[in-house]
């Protein structure tokens, strides 16, 4: 099941710089792990913002929820999740 996810990150400015650096490093490692596993299919930066647009391929909404909660920066995120399904006019939906 595909999900479109927008993540807007708002790390507090007064967070200890060492804590922030560790959070960012562990977030990157987790993102790379999920991409290599084929779960985090697309990851796009929103220009001029500390935000991303992503596409995830997971079994269901529960797995999507658990995945988001596993992200180290999740406590500092505003997240919008939209379930996706194939559009009937998509090339992939056409019969050969």
- For residue 96, is it within any domain? no
CA distance 29 to 49: 21
Number of domains forming the structure of the chain? 1
- For residue 95, is it within any domain? no
Q: Cα separations (Å) of 85 from 3, 21, 25, 92?
A: 9, 37, 33, 12
Q: Rounded to 5 degrees, what are φ and ψ at 3?
A: -130, 135
Q: What is the CATH number of the domain that holds 70?
A: 3.30.70.1060
**pLDDT score at 94:** 84
Q: Give the pLDDT means over successive 10-residue stretches in the chain (96 positions).
A: 98 96 97 98 98 98 98 98 94 81
- The boundaries of the domain holding residue 57 are 2-86
CA distance 91 to 61: 26
- For residue 44, is it within any domain? yes
pTM equals 0.90
């Amino acid at each position: 099941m595909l999900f479109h996810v927008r993540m807007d990150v708002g790390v507090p400015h007064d967070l200890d710089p060492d804590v922030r650096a560790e959070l960012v490093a562990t977030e990157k490692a987790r993102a790379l792990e999920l991409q290599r596993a084929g779960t985090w299919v697309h990851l796009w930066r929103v220009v001029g913002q500390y935000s991303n647009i992503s596409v995830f391929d997971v079994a269901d909404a529960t797995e999507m929820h658990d995945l988001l909660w596993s992200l180290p920066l999740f406590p500092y995120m505003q997240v919008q999740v939209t379930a996706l399904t194939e559009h009937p006019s998509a090339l992939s939906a056409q019969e050969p």
